[in-house]
Amino acid sequence: MEKTVFEKSRPGRLGVMPPESDCPEANIAELIPEDMRRGEAPPLPELSECDVMRHFVNLSQKNYSVDTHFYPLGSCTMKYNPRRNEKAASLPGFTDIHPLSEDKDAQGSLEVMHELQNALAEITGMDAISLQPAAGAHGEVTSLFTVSRYFHDLGEDRNIIIVPDSSHGTNPASAALAGFKVVTIPSDADGSVDLKALKEAVNEHTACLMLTNPSTLGLFEAHISEICRIIHEAGALMYYDGANMNALMGIARPGDMGFDLVHINLHKTFSTPHGGGGPGSGPVGAKGRLAAYLPGPRAVKAEDGSYRLQRAEKTIGRVKMFWGNFLVIVKALAYIRTLGGAGLKRASQAAVMAANYMRVRLKEAYHLPYDRMCMHEFVLSADRLKKEKHIHALDVAKGLLDRGFHAPTIYFPLIVEEALMIEPTETESLETMDAFIEAMLDIAENESSESLAKAPETLPVTRLDETKAARKPVLQWPQ
Amino acid sequence: MIPEELKYTKEHEWVRLLDGGIAEIGITDFAQDQLGDIVYVEVPEIGRKLTKDDTFGVVESVKTVSDVYSPLSGEVIAVNEVLCEDGDSFTPEVINKDAYGEGWIIRIKVADPAEIDTLLDAAAYKAVTEEEG
Amino acid sequence: MSYIPHTDADVRKMSEAVGVSFEEAAYAAIPEELRLNRELELPEALSESDLLDYFRKLSEANRRFEGGSFLGAGAYRHFIPSIVETVISRSEFLTAYTPYQAEASQGTLQTIFEFQSLICRLTGMDVANASVYDGGTAAVDAVLMAVGQTGKKKVLVSMGVHPQIREVMETYLAGSDIKLEYAPLSAQTGRTELPEIASDTAAVLVQNPNFMGIIEDGPELCRKAHEGGALAAVAVNDPVNLALLKAPGAYGADICCGDAQPFGNPVAYGGPYVGFLACTQKLMRRIPGRLVGMTEDHDGKRGFCLTLQAREQHIRREKASSNICSNEALCALAATVYLCAVGPEGLRRSAEAGMRNAAYFRSRIAEAEGLELVFAGPHMNEFAARFPKGVAEEFNRFLAERSIQGGYVLDGVYSGLEDCMLLCCTELCKKAQIDAWAEAWQAFKERQ
């Protein structure tokens, strides 16, 4: 157990000191009105620089990460995070530039943004891209603001968003945040959108269908053209949740399938690190008349070759301060410039090949509810293990941790009982995948619910009491 | 465990009719078992007027959450104190331990006694649970 | 270069197992007419050395101001201890995902718990979340919390709140039934002038210090909000100031939000930054985003896990308190390391040095011919200066020739302040830079 920084603190111990002012002395106390003055220094921990370093390095060693472990977390695309991208993003010309610098003083940053906008437009088949949203869910709600404004301008009263029951939770949550009503439709026996249910759900109040393709089952929507036709004939729009874009780079484009709006996760498909939960970046793309509504400003190139920030004509406005998660944008562009068009395609091909290899090798020991060619990920069910041996998906996950692997995504999508969603990505070697497969087979064959109940046993803590944490939440160190 | 003397809804609420046109409402043992360890209950304020099928609260477990619907119309006249997070006696786990007794959620003054006939009896509710379970 | 490890033999083995060739696998499930039958048209792939050269050139196309910068206005250049970069570059932090598997994520979970604790200590609030996107979306969340709690639909926002934060709120709330109304700043003091609070007001949102660098009368604003039956929400502008200012929780704030960028994160052309959001115990169930709680494992050993997750989108879907999934965890880690490294004494010295530098700068402005301070209220480390008509932009260009980055010109941002410039000093600012700015003004005037 690592003590908290508050337990390690000692009164009077000094850490790193900032530079001192060389301006004439000022009576600081007098500059602040008395009833706004803090009486005592804020109760921050007092540590030496060495204490701080050791604390955080020790803590870091209690994590699994892509750099230390295979991390087949479905829907999260935990591919290798190239360090050259980090190096590019740490160049002082990028880190030191103030966001309110004049455009002429920020030509390098603006060119980076412009290049990435162009590349993402080409990869997705969209007409225009805004880099402003900070994450995938942020991109979703941004796109739905766009949908809302678009229909408002058309004078159409459309307040319903349709989502499949296999969708990410962020889809309905974003729709609700953007002021829409949500209608959930079931999936059919193949795990695809149920066309009959879709036709019944669509009407003159439908604004948009939000769809992930490949779906969260890792399956390509075979009827996507038909789905788009149904939605478009009703006067509604198609929204592409780009969480699973890693299957499609250079293979197929949402724009060509009939989608009107997309978001892309730079922190999934384009290799920027997840950082323990963020920062991400969730650029949005739009086709045709919708492009005029994108948030911004965005980078545009003038005839003289210079760049400037400019708002789209009917922009929904700003969804974030400044222009986007710029350093993440640098990293994503570095990735795209490293792979090029052919390299991106090869990455998607390898991701799909790897997922199918693992699917085929695991489908006997585990239940594979949708047994056909998958894209970059697939979903197994532990329902048979549960029935036969009382082993749940959670137990499998914890058993994997003890075997040196991060767990797959569990209990998602909601339509598969005891779901285990596995996404190997293209950057894992065959030996790593084989070792993971062996671990999965070993659990299915040799473990029991009793033996797994204690798992994990080799990590810094055993299973945590989440009920206690939620009943009497302790959310900060007591003061 | 489905007590004979109570009334039920398909949404897994139970109703106990008390004297004076008062109904006590909670969630069934089947519901608490499905939810798992209950960690929090959002309760309505006293005096709130409920219409039948209104959402009047939320029961939250570690991994999931469920709305609670009013089986009858009426005014909330009491809320189970042990479910109020602000109170010292906050112990939402009573619903897990004793769903039909200590784990009651609210009491209402019934507005329309005719609605009582729309509720399920124990046998009908048992059929609901067998279908879902 | 695609970072793919497979040898020809590996590819063969996989293809044989699946029964489909490597070339066909990705297309197998895709209808023929939807396949992209050409290569993506992207610039050619670069080797690592060429790539770094390409980005180095681009980064150098950004102007560097050797003579210093006085731009603040929501993004603040502060001293960043070297240790921050070292810690956040650790593979185990950088390349981990959201800590859903708690036992394999105790490092990330404990650092988030420490971040929450530090934010609580600085803001005087009871609960802080694991971070949101930035100061703009944090303010949106604050407003939505207040509306959810009170059931009221009107929010009174001070004009002292950063114009871009106000714009983000407008975008988010445009299609909703929540109405934003604005309270003006006193032309004399620069402090917010609150009107009578209408009884249908969910919250009063002020920024303190406000966008003009003025210290608001926090206790009075919160008292008025509460008297009107509204919640008091305080956005903090540059939280380094909290070393010297009374904690919002100590003067009545129900919700406190802001951007923790100044704690260890570079200005980086606008991101990534890190929004923080904190509230009273009473509002704990309303706060969106991830929360880490302290608990025990099976053996009674202390550990940390995500908690109160039932409010979140992956469980509640359209009924969730927010749609947020990814947050700004690594930037929050930078803030955590920063605050631990500088400690209470370092943070106080930073804030004091900024104020001292700004006070000196104001004295130079006050004595400069043709310039005046716009507001008489109490200033922190940022202030507005008024220029003769129509010269503020031009003077900024004049400064740029001397490799000084001037201030933020308020033309088009605030009506009535067209000829004004917002200037900021942190602890990184030097007296010589301020003197050079003042001398440049003298030279500029003489040239005219």
Q: Which residues of B touch A467 (CB under 8 A)?
A: 37, 39, 62
Contact C310 B42 (CB under 8 A): no
CA atoms within 13 A on the CB side of C27: 14
Top residue of B65, B84, B85 to mutate, by most chain C CBs within 10 Å, is: B65
Who's near A44: CB < 8 A, 6+ residues apart?
C118, C121, C122, C339, C340, C343, C344, C347
Contact B62 C285 (CB under 8 A): no
What pLDDT, on the 0 to 100 scale, is given for residue C218? 97
pLDDT by residue (tens digit) across B5-64? Answer: 999 999 999 999 999 999 999 999 999 998 999 999 999 999 999 999 999 999 999 878
User: Does residue A417 share a domain with residue A358?
Assistant: yes
pLDDT at C359 over 70: yes
Contact A44 C344 (CB under 8 A): yes
Of B60, B62, B93, the CB nearest to A466: B62
Q: Which residues of C touch B67 (CB under 8 A)?
A: 319
Question: Hey, is the C-beta of A22 within 8 angstroms of any chain C C-beta?
Answer: yes
Q: What is the rounded average pLDDT of the residues C106-112?
A: 98
Which DSSP symbol is given to C215?
A: P
Amino acid at C143: V
The token pair at A356 is: 């199918």
pLDDT by residue (tens digit) across C12-46? Answer: 999 999 999 999 999 999 999 999 999 999 999 99
Question: Hey, is the C-beta of B87 within 8 angstroms of any chain C C-beta?
Answer: no
Beta-carbon contacts below 8 Å between A and C: 718
From CA C271, how far away is CA A324, in angstroms rounded?
6
User: Does residue A297 share a domain with residue A166?
Assistant: yes
State how many domains chain A has.
3
pLDDT at C90 over 70: yes
Q: Domains along chain B?
A: 7-113 (2.40.50.100)
What residue in B sits closest to A471 (Cα-Cα)? B39
User: Does residue A331 share a domain with residue A376?
Assistant: no
From CA C261, how far away is CA C248, in angstroms rounded?
19
Q: Which residues of A touch C403 (CB under 8 A)?
A: none
What residue in B sits closest to C316 (Cα-Cα)? B65
Q: What is the rounded average pLDDT of the residues C411-437?
A: 96
The shortest C-alpha distance from B38 to chain A (Å) reads: 8
User: Does residue A263 share a domain with residue A158?
Assistant: yes
**What residues in chain B have their Cβ under 8 A from chain A's Cβ atoms?**
37, 39-40, 60, 62-63, 92-93
Q: Which residues of B touch C309 (CB under 8 A)?
A: 62-63
Of C30, C44, C295, the CB nearest to A464: C295
| R_g over Cα of chain C | 25
Q: Which residues of A touch B93 (CB under 8 A)?
A: 471
The shortest C-alpha distance from B55 to chain C (Å) reads: 13
Q: Which residues of C touch B64 (CB under 8 A)?
A: 310, 315
What residue in C sits closest to B40 (Cα-Cα)? C308
A284 and A130 Cβ atoms separated by less than 8 Å: yes
The shortest C-alpha distance from A36 to chain C (Å) reads: 5
The shortest C-alpha distance from A169 to chain B (Å) reads: 13
Q: Which residues of B touch C151 (CB under 8 A)?
A: none
Contact A338 C219 (CB under 8 A): no
Contact A19 C92 (CB under 8 A): no
Q: Domain boundary residue among A338, A372, A390?
A: A338
What residue in C sits closest to A38 (Cα-Cα)? C246
Which DSSP symbol is given to C30?
A: S
Q: Which residues of B touch A468 (CB under 8 A)?
A: none
On average, the pLDDT of chain C sits at 96
Q: What is the pTM of this model?
A: 0.96
Work out the angle between the directed axes of helices A49-60 and C106-123 (0-180°, nearest 10): 140
- Which secondary structure element, helix H or strand E, spans residue A57, and what is its range? helix A49-60
Contact A465 C297 (CB under 8 A): yes
Amino acid at A470: A
Helix (H, G, I), strand (E, B) or coil at B106: strand
Distance of CA C201 to the CA centre of its chain: 26
pLDDT by residue (tens digit) across C420-431? Answer: 999 999 999 999
Question: Cα separations (Å) of B63 from A38, A427, A467, A479, B104?
Answer: 41, 33, 9, 30, 22
Contact A477 C111 (CB under 8 A): no
Instruction: Tell whether A125 is covered by a domain.
Output: yes
From CA A432, how far away is CA B88, in angstroms rounded?
52
pLDDT by residue (tens digit) across C74-84? Answer: 999 999 999 99
The residue ranges of DSSP E strands in A287-334, in sequence order, are 298-301, 307-310
Contact A109 C269 (CB under 8 A): yes
User: Does residue A381 share a domain with residue A295?
Assistant: no
Q: Which residues of A touch B85 (CB under 8 A)?
A: none
Q: Which residues of A touch C318 (CB under 8 A)?
A: 172-173, 175-176, 182
Residue with tokens 């731009």: C71
In angstroms, the first-to-last Cα distance of chain B is 13
Residues in A 447-466 with any Cβ partner in C closer than 8 A:
454, 456, 459-466
Which segments of chain A have a pLDDT < 70? Answer: none
Contact A467 B40 (CB under 8 A): no
What DSSP string runs through A259-298?
-SEEEE-TTTTT----TTT------EEE-GGGGGG--S-E
What residue in A sits closest to C164 (Cα-Cα)? A321
Q: Which residues of B touch C319 (CB under 8 A)?
A: 67
User: Does residue A429 share a domain with residue A329?
Assistant: no
User: Does residue A264 share a domain with residue A199?
Assistant: yes
User: Does residue A374 share a domain with residue A317?
Assistant: no
What pLDDT, on the 0 to 100 scale, is given for residue B133? 64
What residue in A sits closest to C258 (Cα-Cα)? A321
Backbone phi, psi, residue A69, to 5°: -145, 150
Q: Which residues of A touch C291 (CB under 8 A)?
A: 473, 475
On average, the pLDDT of chain B sits at 92
> Superfamily for C343-447?
Aspartate Aminotransferase, domain 1 (3.90.1150.10)
User: Does residue A353 share a domain with residue A311?
Assistant: no
Contact B92 A467 (CB under 8 A): no
CATH architecture of C82-338: 3-Layer(aba) Sandwich (3.40)
Q: Which residues of B touch A466 (CB under 8 A)?
A: 62
What pLDDT, on the 0 to 100 scale, is given for residue C317? 83
User: Does residue A347 share a domain with residue A328?
Assistant: no
Work out the angle between the directed axes of helices A107-124 and C48-60 (0-180°, nearest 10): 130
Question: Hey, is the C-beta of B55 within 8 angstroms of any chain C C-beta?
Answer: no
pLDDT by residue (tens digit) across C275-333? Answer: 999 999 999 999 999 999 999 999 999 999 999 888 788 878 888 888 889 999 999 99
Contact B92 A471 (CB under 8 A): yes
The token pair at A462 is: 């055993």
A57 and C87 Cβ atoms separated by less than 8 Å: yes
Q: Residue A257: which domain range?
A: 84-338
Of A78, A430, A456, the CB nearest to C97: A78
Instruction: Tell whether A473 is covered by a domain.
Output: no
User: Does residue A414 share a domain with residue A367?
Assistant: yes
Question: Cα separations (Å) of C206 from B120, C342, C417?
Answer: 53, 28, 20
What residue in C sits closest to A331 (Cα-Cα)? C55
From CA A215, how far away is CA B18, in angstroms rounded?
51
The greatest distance separating any two alpha carbons of chain B, rounded to the nearest whole angstrom, comes to 39
User: Does residue A331 share a domain with residue A353?
Assistant: no
Backbone phi, psi, residue A4, to 5°: -75, 165
Q: Which chains touch A (3 or more CB pairs under 8 A)?
A: B, C
On average, the pLDDT of chain A sits at 96
Q: Which residues of B touch C282 (CB under 8 A)?
A: 86
Q: Which residues of B touch A470 (CB under 8 A)?
A: 39-40, 60, 62
Q: Which chains touch B (3 or more CB pairs under 8 A)?
A: A, C
Write down the domain spans for chain C: 82-338, 343-447
Top residue of C2, C11, C125, C237 to mutate, by most chain A CBs within 10 Å, is: C2
Who's near B57: CB < 8 A, 6+ residues apart?
B41, B42, B43, B44, B67, B68, B105, B106
Instruction: Tell whether A67 is covered by a domain.
Output: no
Contact C315 B63 (CB under 8 A): yes
- Bond before C272 cis per omega within 30 degrees: yes
Beta strands C127-128 and B74-79: pairing type? unpaired
What pLDDT, on the 0 to 100 scale, is given for residue C316? 81
pLDDT by residue (tens digit) across A42-90? Answer: 999 999 999 999 999 999 999 999 999 999 999 999 999 999 999 999 9
Contact C342 A479 (CB under 8 A): no
Give the pLDDT band (50/70/90) at residue C2.
confident
